Structure 1
Amino acid sequence: MSIQENIEHITSLIESAQTKFGRSQGSVQLLAVSKTKPPEAIIAATQAGQRKFGENYVQEGVEKVQYFNQHYPDLSLEWHFIGPLQSNKTRAIAEHFAWVHTIDRAKIAQRLNDQRPATLPPLQVLIQINISGEASKSGIQESELFELAELISTLPNLTLRGVMAIPQNVPDYASQLAAFQKLASYQQTLATRYPHINTLSMGMSGDMEAAIEAGTTMVRIGTAIFGQRDYSHAHTE
């Protein structure tokens, strides 16, 4: 199937799950994860109406943002950084992306705030939580969430929108749902304290339905849209 057909298929799955779980149509957005994929693949996705794209690698992502701003400004693409954050790469992210999903410590939040150009609107940010407690996963510990949220709420060039997680990869639906429900409870608590909390970034190809049942507002889908990834030419930094 073509990229356009893949997006149409995934969109139909999202719409069916929204109906199944009593979610309003349009309440779950599709973020197309375009890491390692060339501009031609992104253009194909835009022909299916896709406008939100997620990138994991700073150099590759910045190059794509610059390319589309220069050559396709009328598409008005929305770029989300969804990869691990390093202190020495925050300036490039602050200068080029509209969203960051992976803030997990105060130093990173402060640098993004300080390096956000005054000509751009505030950076829309999510706190990444290590919801499954895996040593290999990025994300803040659950006990540290509210302290970091309080800091971000004081930074004028950041707008805290919610939380993000990559739960442990488990095959059974009940375990998927339990992890997502825990994340949703944190988002709901934050929403009682801060005015712009409305985003829950969770769910990928293998657990999208459980994420939608638990209340996700944004699913991150890559391979099911663009096909298998070729990392041999990727800027994996």
Structure 2
Amino acid sequence: MKLSTGTPRILVVDDEKDLTDLLVTVLRAEGWRTEPAPDGTTALRAVRGFRPDAVVLDRGLPDLEGLEVLRRLRAYRPDLPVLFLTARESVEDRVAGLCAGADDYVPKPFDLDEVVVRLRALLRRCDAAGAGGSLLAVGDLTLDEETRQVHRGGAQVRLTAREFELLRYLMRHTGRVLGRAELLDNVWADEADRHLNIVESYVSYLRRKIERDRSVLIHTVRGVGYLMKPAAPKR
């Protein structure tokens, strides 16, 4: 993951308002842009809008379990740094969080300086690994995650915000069949009123824009979902 240019952005996800306010104050004092989220649904929405460079995530949330929030975060942005906070002290709970994909773990009650130090380490690690860039490509289709520009065969394709997120998820998982429910959970996670038909509608919108007069990239796997893969070369 390449860090956003400028000030690092930190998303703090915890339903304890006093603790969240304190964390936000301390992190902003470090010069970081910080946004709070009181539950998992708000956090998943913020990841798309706020585009954080790291997430401080509580295990116990009122709507979604922290591990489920982490799973959805990982599906959407696989290398987004996540620092788990938890009041659960057992070794099994810590191992479960790390095995689920958390980058680090701090038990409650914690020292605020320790949280800052651990976040700095995560941000440095990602900055060092950021040389890979943010360009996704499938055949002659490219998507730049930073500029949010999409091109097919060198020509720009203009997408709505939701179309862009759906295409990004498909391209991040090129070569794997994605079920409609998975796409709904990860691209429409911020909407309470969701239905599978919206996935089909948006796939249709995408196809009209990126496959018009061109080879097929989004393939339907009947009864299962969709598969993004490069078009077969012409013989």
What TM-score do the two structures reach when normalised by structure 2? 0.29
What TM-score do the two structures reach when normalised by structure 1? 0.29
* Higher Cα radius of gyration: 2
Higher strand share: 2
> Which has the higher relative contact order, 1 or 2, with Cα contacts under 8 A spaced 6 or more apart?
1
